């Protein structure tokens, strides 16, 4: 098995998911016009994808442990490619939304199973470099997603936003077929069905409540009721996991302070990344009046910086560098770039600030999985990775819905769109700084505890 080809295989799969996550928003008005519905009716094409992805990340990782990671990875790539093709061929909103559901389920397979494939194929020193490279190359898709969506819709047709994924999925499938070896978790037992049902339903309810809160009203009975049901199901899930012999999630993870801190810091970094790209898309096109192509050229700066950040994170991971140092420093760099975006408007300064933010947040996102592997026992590494991805990806997806609501509220309060965007950029910078501080404090305490135990 060629290590580089294996990394390329998983990177292509992650790239498709990352592009797809952000490409559709700018195409929604064109889709609505052609299918003869209101743009708001197509919000479910976004919502169902986020719901499915967030809900199935943990179960999909467990499925790979049980049924075979190569098999599940191949199924995920094939399903994502076929669903992308059928989305592009959709003749009704119902078909489009149904295929977006399939895309979300397939994406949930690709993330945790792809990382598990990498972890199984590489030894510890090389594993960090490989995971960092996967996330770095995949992050290019995150940064260029809005450009792909807008440019393809303007130049060709909205259907090409989905067709764009197909050749990448074909290439990833062929590479996976040839270069990925089958692997299982020998300690994995049968699926914890009650735990599976409650966590999927609980995450789906909470995600839907947050996603639709602006439309339904944050204090409306539907929003609060759905959120309450979701939280109750998640509490029930915790109770189930405490009693079953083979839990879906080892709750001991959440008693590991360094693990929790690294995961939440990674979540904060992904929130900042997702919301930064969303806000920049609005600012560049709706405030500054750039065309999708012109905005896409600007987006190349954070896309390239994000990719470089992933490679840097991989190199540092291969050396076993502390998450406290890498992620804390990267969050500070990201915060500096976000402050620049909040204060600067002239292109000679704006573009470098955009790139700096992309680099810092790219290192943070890429190092999250590497960092969590360093702070948990090896026997818990697989489960820890799935839980981390579920939290980090879920928070990133939900941040866009919450950010859109905050942006609208600030504008409704009398601020200009420019001011509203800048306020939110400053808020993201503050979030990054607080997360870096939390990493420093917890890391220092963990180090002191380790030294005390040694003596």
Residue 157 has pLDDT above 60, yes or no: yes
Residues 389 and 265 in one domain: yes
- 153 and 287 in a single domain? The answer is no
| pTM for the full predicted model | 0.77
- Is residue 108 domain-shared with residue 229, that is, in the same domain? no
Answer yes or no: do 154 and 236 share one domain.
no
207 — phi, psi (to 5°)? -60, -45
By residue range, what is the domain housing residue 238? 192-247
pLDDT in tens, 359-375: 998 888 778 877 777 77
Same domain, 399 and 263: yes
Please, what is the Cα angle at 418 between 416 and 421, to 5 degrees?
110
Task: Encode 261-290: b = buried (16+ Cβ within 10 Å), e = exposed.
Answer: bbbbbbbbbbbbbbbbbbbbbbbbbeeeeb
Last residue of a domain, one of 148, 179, 210: 179
Residue 118 domain-assigned (yes or no): yes
End of a domain among 155, 179, 203? 179
Residues 307, 358, single domain; the answer is: yes
- Please report whether residue 228 resides in a domain: yes
Asked if the structure places residue 454 within a domain, the reply is no
Q: For residue 265, which of 391, 177, 170 has the smallest C-alpha distance?
A: 391
Domain contains 327: yes
Tell the residue number behind the tokens 């000679």, with chain if given: 348
Model confidence at 455, pLDDT cuts 50, 70, 90, reads very low
Task: Give dist(CA 361, CA 268) in Å, integer.
Answer: 9
3-state secondary structure the chain: CCHHHHHHHHHHHHHHHHHHHHHCHHHHHHHHHHHCCCHHHHHHHHHHHHHHHHHHHHHHHHHHHHHCHHHHHHHHHHHHHHHHHHHHHCCCHHHHHHHHHHHHHHHHHHHHHHHHHHHHHCCHHHHHHHHHHHHHHHHHHHHHHHHHHHHHHHHCCCHHHHHCHHHHHHHHHHHHHHHCCCCCCCCCCCCCHHHHHHHHHHHHHHHHHHHHHHHHCCCCHHHHHHHHHHHHHHHHHHHHHHHCCCCCCCHHHHHCHHHHHHHHHHHHHHHHHHHHHHHHHHHHHHHCCCCHHHHHHHHHHHHHHHHHHHHHHHHHHHCCCCHHHHHHHHHHHHHHHHHHHHHCCCHHHHHHHHHHHHHHHHHHHHHHHHHHHHCCCHHHHHHHHHHHHHHHHHHHHHHHHHHHHHHHHHHHCCCCHHHHHHHHHHHHHHHHHHHHHHHHHHHHHHHHHHHHHHC
CATH number at residue 369: 1.20.1250.20
Count of domains for the chain = 3
Query: Which residue, of 179, 208, 224, is where some domain finishes?
Result: 179
Task: Read off the pLDDT of each residue in 8-29 and give the average, rounded to a whole number.
Answer: 78
Per-residue pLDDT band at 451 (split at 50, 70, 90): very low
The answer as to whether 311 is a domain residue is yes
205 and 135 within one domain: no
Decide if 164 is inside a domain.
yes
- Same domain assignment for residues 254 and 243: no
**Would residue 321 be called left, alpha or beta, if left means φ above 0 and alpha means ψ between -120 and 50 degrees?**
beta
How sure is the predictor about 356, in pLDDT bands with cuts at 50, 70 and 90?
very high
Q: Which of 76, 88, 26, 28 is nearest to 52 (CA)?
A: 76
Token look-up 């080892």 returns 250
174 and 199, same domain (yes or no) = no
Q: Residue 17 and residue 20: Cα distance in Å, rounded?
A: 5
The model's pLDDT over 111-143, given as tens digits with 9 standing for 90+, comes to 778 877 877 777 766 776 777 777 777 777 776
Average confidence (pLDDT) over 313-333: 81
* CA atoms of 291 and 157, how far apart (whole Å): 16
Asked whether residue 46 falls in the same domain as residue 164, the answer is yes
Query: Are residues 347 and 233 part of one domain?
Result: no
Q: Is 451 within the bounds of a domain?
A: no
CB 273 within 8 A of CB 361: yes
pLDDT at 39 > cutoff 80: no
For the segment 183-207, what is each residue's pLDDT rounded down to a tens digit? 766 665 666 778 878 888 887 788 7
Are 56 and 165 in a shared domain? yes
Q: What is the pLDDT of residues 426-445, one digit of tens each?
A: 999 999 999 888 888 876 66
**Structure tokens, 77:** 């790539």
452 lies in some domain: no
């Amino acid at each position: 098995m060629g290590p580089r080809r294996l990394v390329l295989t998983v990177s292509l799969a992650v790239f498709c998911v990352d592009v797809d996550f952000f490409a559709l928003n700018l195409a929604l008005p064109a889709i609505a016009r052609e299918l003869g519905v209101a743009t708001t009716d197509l919000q479910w094409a976004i919502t169902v994808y986020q719901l499915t992805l967030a809900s199935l990340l943990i179960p999909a990782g467990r499925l790979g442990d049980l049924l075979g990671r190569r098999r599940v990875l191949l199924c995920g790539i094939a399903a994502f490619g076929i669903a992308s093709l059928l989305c592009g061929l959709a003749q009704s909103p119902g078909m489009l939304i149904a295929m977006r559901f399939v895309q979300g389920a397939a994406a949930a397979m690709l993330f945790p199973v792809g990382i598990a494939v990498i972890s199984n194929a590489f030894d510890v020193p090389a594993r960090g470099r490989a995971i960092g490279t996967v996330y770095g190359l995949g992050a290019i898709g995150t940064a260029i997603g809005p450009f792909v969506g807008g440019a393809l819709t303007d130049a060709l047709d909205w259907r090409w936003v989905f067709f764009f994924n197909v050749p990448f999925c074909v290439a990833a499938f062929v590479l996976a077929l040839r270069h990925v070896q089958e692997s299982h978790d020998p300690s994995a037992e049968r699926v914890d069905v009650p735990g599976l049902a409650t966590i999927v339903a609980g995450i789906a309810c909470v995600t839907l409540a947050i996603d639709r809160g602006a439309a339904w009203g944050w204090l409306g009975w539907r929003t609060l009721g759905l959120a309450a049901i979701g939280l109750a199901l998640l509490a029930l899930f915790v109770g189930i996991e405490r009693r079953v012999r083979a839990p879906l999630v080892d709750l001991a993870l959440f008693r590991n302070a360094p693990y929790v801190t690294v995961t939440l810091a990674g979540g904060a970094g992904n929130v900042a990344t997702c919301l930064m790209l969303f806000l920049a898309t609005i600012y560049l096109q709706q405030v500054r009046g750039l065309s999708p192509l012109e905005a896409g050229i600007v987006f190349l700066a954070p896309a390239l910086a994000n990719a470089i950040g992933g490679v840097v994170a991989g190199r540092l991971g291969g050396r076993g560098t502390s998450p406290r140092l890498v992620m804390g420093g990267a969050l500070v760099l990201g915060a500096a770039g976000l402050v620049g975006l909040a204060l600067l408007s002239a292109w000679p300064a704006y573009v470098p600030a955009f790139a700096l933010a992309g680099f810092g947040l790219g290192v943070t996102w890429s190092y999250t999985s590497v960092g969590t592997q360093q702070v948990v026992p090896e026997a818990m590494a697989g489960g820890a990775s799935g839980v981390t991805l579920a939290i980090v990806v879920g928070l990133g997806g939900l941040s866009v819905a919450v950010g859109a609501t905050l942006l609208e509220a600030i504008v409704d309060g009398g601020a200009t769109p420019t001011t509203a965007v800048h306020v939110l950029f400053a808020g993201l910078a503050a979030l990054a700084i607080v997360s870096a501080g939390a990493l420093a404090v917890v890391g220092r305490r963990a180090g002191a505890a380790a030294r005390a135990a040694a003596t």
